[in-house]
Chain A
Amino acid sequence: MNVEQLYEFLKKTQEAKGYFFHKDKTRVFHLLQGLLENRERYGYMCCPCRLAADDRDRDRDIICPCVYREPDVAEYGSCYCGLYVSKEWNEETIPHSYVSERRPPEKASR
């Protein structure tokens, strides 16, 4: 699967759930490229903005879409990477603030 195909597939499935790609397609493609690279390296699409432990069980919470996407989009209008955002975020009717890392520090790579 190439980036374009991944984009089309995820756009369809995630928009149906109320999660939209960031309106800047260049950023989205950089992140999707990272997801494909991580799939190649680790065997699963780990979050491109976090360091994978290369252990599917340890990384389960950060396989994209990560478990933090829902609370992050609810609070900030954007996930940690800014790959998925709310409609309001893309329309700039809510402020664009930096999304703090919600993942507990003890879960970080060793």
Chain B
Amino acid sequence: MKDPDIKLYALTTCIHCKDTKDFLDKCGVDYDCVNVDKLDDDERRRMIEEIKKANPGCAFPMLLIGPKVIIGFKKEEIREALNLE
């Protein structure tokens, strides 16, 4: 079965983002990661608008697993969304 599309919006300095990356890596899943703090001005503005649609406070990390949005490092929610035991 193909993995759902997974996209992580993160900050390079954020510890919860690091925890999320480490956890996804440990689970062996493929994901795209956007480090929002490293984007240039225009791209960053565009990305913030996109993030705010699902996450008005623009909190990090924000993880999209298929249709599911997980804000913050919520291990159990991630595990469930990935259908992991």
Contact = CB atoms under 8 A, between A and B. Distances in A.
A51 B36 contact: yes
A77 interface: no
Interface residues of A, number: 24
Is the contact region of chain A dominated by helix, strand, or loop, or is it mixed?
Answer: loop
B52 interface: yes
A78 to B, nearest CB: 11
A98 B72 contact: yes
Interface of A: 27, 30-31, 33-35, 37-38, 48-52, 81-82, 98, 100-101, 103-105, 108-110
Given A30-B15, A34-B14, A105-B58, 15 more contacts: A31-B13, A34-B15, A37-B13, A38-B13, A48-B15, A49-B13, A49-B15, A49-B60, A51-B11, A81-B15, A100-B72, A103-B57, A108-B57, A108-B59, A109-B58
